Amino acid sequence: MLNVNCHLHTPYSFSAFEDIDDALNRAVAEDVKVVGINDFYTSKGFKEWKVGCDKRKLFPLFGIEFISLNQDDQLAGLRVNDPANPGRTYISGKGLAYPFNLPEPFASQLSAVVDESNKQVEAMCVKLNEFLQRINAGFTLDLTWIKKELTQGSLRERHLARALRMKLFEYSNDDFVEINSLLEELFGGKSIKSELTD
């Protein structure tokens, strides 16, 4: 049987992998022969993906993912393929050609979607920093640092979560008791369910 994974997010949007090499090396280690890149709103990783797959004798697939929001469905509580968020739908385009070429006006439209998505997360960061100041957390997040160190052009809410986790550990000097206390304050008195080392 041929092992296939056609839906791998890379750091070009957000990923559990350190980089594309990490994703592809894990595919090799797990005997996955067909691997598909599938990032939110971008094809920027396609060339690196193709080169990495060729080097490892893997068959590359190319995809892109979008998130849509139908406000009527949201108000009605209709869930499509996101069980936690009514009205939200994830749409994946699979089997894209490589090299990928998006003609106008679609290239400009996609660029505008990326810009708006990034602005939305920037606004989230402002609100998060206001909240951190309001609860006297002792730190805030540096959006410039997040963009430079944690992203490759696409800013996602998961980058904020990762930066917050990193800042918590840094501020608390890895003291799990203090980290737990700060997290409970951040979550309105609720304790976290997963291990801090997870």
62 Ramachandran zone, left/alpha/beta (phi>0; psi -120 to 50): beta
Mean pLDDT by 10 residues, the chain (198 residues): 94 89 97 97 96 98 95 95 93 95 96 94 97 93 93 89 92 88 86 75
Coil, strand or helix at 113: helix
Predicted pLDDT of residue 46: 98
State both tokens at 95.
């089997």
Query: How are strands ordered across the β-sheet holding 88-93?
Result: 4-8, 34-40, 59-69, 88-93
User: Which domains, ranges and CATH numbers included, belong to the chain?
Assistant: 1-101 (3.20.20.140), 104-198 (no CATH)
Taking CA atoms, 132 is separated from 120, 128, 166, 181, in Å, by 18, 6, 14, 14
The pLDDT of residue 190 is 84
Q: How many CB atoms lie within 10 A of CB 24?
A: 25
